[in-house]
Amino acid sequence: MIRIDSVTKRYPDGTVAVDRLSLEIPDRAITVLVGPSGCGKTTTLRMINRMVEPSEGTILLDGTDIQQQPVNTLRRSMGYVIQNAGLFQHRTILDNIATVPRLLGWSKQKARGRARELMERVGLDASLARRYPYQLSGGQQQRVGVARALAADPPVLLMDEPFSAVDPVVRKGLQDELLRIQDELGKTIVFVTHDIDEAVKLGTMVAVMRTGGHLAQFAPPAELLSDPANAFVEDFLGADRGIRRLSFFPAAGLDLLTGPVVAVDATAEQIAARTTPDVPYLLVTGLDGRPLGWSEPGRLTAGNIDPERLLPCGRPFTAGTDSLRSALDCAVLSPTGWAVAVDTEGRAAGVVSQHAIGEAIRGAHADTSAAQREKAVR
């Protein structure tokens, strides 16, 4: 574990970049430092690998003061990724990734073998190996940066705004990739960003910093959204806090109704049997079980339902893996006010009303506030 203990950094010109910062950075998780430009994020990150030395306070790695370790040993245990990847322009992609293993004395062949393995891991096509950085897109370069940082398999990754310079679609891909890699490799990652949505998406723990190098709050993202510690954090989180927090509640607990669902070849008896006074519509599925659309029962032509005449059912949510936020979004966008749930194969798993989702949201809020009250009492 990395422990930052009352660390201050005062630059020679008198700027206090970080002010008595204390943080316990958990092992094998992503800790995000987030805050406006100039609040001391980069300075904090660089103190962890001693590119910047603190003016006061100590940083411990697994209980040992990092000042006690030779700086080269320390840096080898920490991969470092920066914005625009910072690749060596005169080296091929493969040799960029192989940089640290080569420095560690691996043979060229072994280092390149490892580099190829990492290209696959970060989602880069093997055909890019012989190219130079300028021949890659920004997103691809950023993947090379991540692969290079992972090359010597360091336990710690330090990432400074690694995805800030790419467009939103590519950024989302890189974020998803990082979460997937983290699931597989379980690194201790300290990730710096100024983007609160990125922080909420990636962080196991999020440290919100404010100008002057002060820590405003250190909490899991769901707790930031439910209980911002002060007006600064609340303001920094921005609008739709309540809706965004629903991403942390699974939709798995929703009671799905499987009754009001019929297949396109449903008989008049089946349609009648599936029709109940509590549900004004029936969901029609194809013979493969995939949802096709909604209809009032009286408008259905038994035995041969015309999919063209159905109300669209929009994008469904996946019952086992999506959040209450996705379920609510589906219900809000649905012309009937009912959301359609599917299984991982895309087959209809049931339907749920806006009202039932609302009840589940209230239940989830009640559970977490009870847990928080209990925590406050303890």
The entry of Mg ion, ligand ADP, none near residue 39 (CB within 5 to 8 angstroms by kind) is: ligand ADP
With CB cut-offs between 5 and 8 Å by kind, which of Mg ion, ligand ADP, none does residue 114 bind? none
Q: In terms of CB distance, is 49 or 318 closer to ligand ADP?
A: 49
Is residue 133 within 8 Å of 20, Cβ to Cβ?
no
127 binds, among ligand ADP, Mg ion, none (CB under 5 to 8 A by kind): none
40 binds, options ligand ADP, Mg ion, none, Cβ within 5 to 8 A by partner type: ligand ADP
Using the minimum distance from each CB to Mg ion, give the nearer residue, 42 or 77.
Answer: 42
Side by side, which strands form the sheet with 261-263?
Answer: 261-263, 282-285, 291-295
Amino acid identity at 31:
T
Contacting positions for ligand ADP (CB under 6 A): 11, 13, 15, 17, 37-43
Minimum separation from the CB atom of position 161 to Mg ion (A): 6
| Contact map string, positions 32 to 71, toward Mg ion, x by CB under 5 A | ----------x-----------------------------
- Total residues at interface with Mg ion (CB under 5 A): 1
| DSSP string of 142-159, one letter each residue | HHHHHHHHHTT--SEEEE
Please state the closest distance from residue 201 (CB atom) to ligand ADP, in A.
Answer: 19
- Which one, 194 or 365, has the nearer CB to ligand ADP? 194
Nearer to Mg ion (CB atom), residue 45 or residue 283: 45
Question: 181-211 burial by CB neighbour count: b if 16+ within 10 A, else e?
Answer: bbeeeebbbbbbbbebebbbbbbebbbbbbe
Q: How many residues does the chain have?
A: 378
- For residue 251, count other CB atoms closer than 10 A to its CB: 25
Say what angle helices 168-185 and 138-150 make with each other, to 10 degrees.
20
Contact 24, 198 (CB under 8 A): no
Instruction: Name every residue whose Cβ is closer than 8 Å to that of residue 75 and which is 6 or more positions away in sequence.
Output: 49, 50
Kindly state the smallest distance separating residue 339's Cβ from ligand ADP, in Å: 40
- CB under 5 to 8 A by kind: which of Mg ion, ligand ADP, none does 374 bind? none
Closest distance between Mg ion and the C-beta of residue 142, in Å? Answer: 16
Which option in Mg ion, ligand ADP, none does residue 202 bind, with CB closer than 5 to 8 A by kind?
none
Residue 367 burial class via C-beta count within 10 angstroms: exposed 0-12, middle 13-18, buried 19 and up: exposed
258 binds, among Mg ion, ligand ADP, none (CB under 5 to 8 A by kind): none
Q: Which does 37 bind (CB under 5 to 8 A by kind): ligand ADP, Mg ion, none?
A: ligand ADP
Closer by beta carbon to ligand ADP, 13 or else 374: 13
Name the binder of 360 from ligand ADP, Mg ion, none, CB < 5-8 A by kind. none
**Closest CB to ligand ADP among residues 211, 301:** 211
> Is the CB of residue 293 less than 8 Å from the CB of residue 267?
no
SS (H, E, C) 275-332: CECCECCEEEECCCCCEEEEECHHHCCCCCCCHHHCECCCCCEECCCCEHHHHHHHHH
C-beta of 87: minimal distance to ligand ADP in Å? 21
The Cα 91–Cα 98 span in angstroms is 10
Strands (E), the chain: 2-10, 16-25, 30-34, 56-61, 64-65, 78-82, 156-160, 188-193, 205-210, 214-219, 261-263, 282-285, 291-295, 317-318, 338-342, 348-353
CA 227 to chain centre: 20
Instruction: Report in angstroms how near the CB of residue 189 gets to Mg ion at its nearest.
Output: 16
Shortest distance in whole angstroms from residue 338 CB to Mg ion: 46
Q: Cβ closer to ligand ADP: 159 or 319?
A: 159
Taking the least distance from each CB to ligand ADP, the nearer of 85 and 122 is 85
Shortest Cβ 147–Mg ion spacing (Å): 22
The C-alpha atoms of residue 174 and residue 141 are separated, in whole angstroms, by 11
The smaller minimum CB distance to Mg ion, of residues 206 and 305, is found at: 206
Contact 274, 258 (CB under 8 A): no
Tell me the closest approach of the beta carbon of residue 74 to ligand ADP, in angstroms: 19
Note the residues at the interface with Mg ion (CB under 5 A): 42
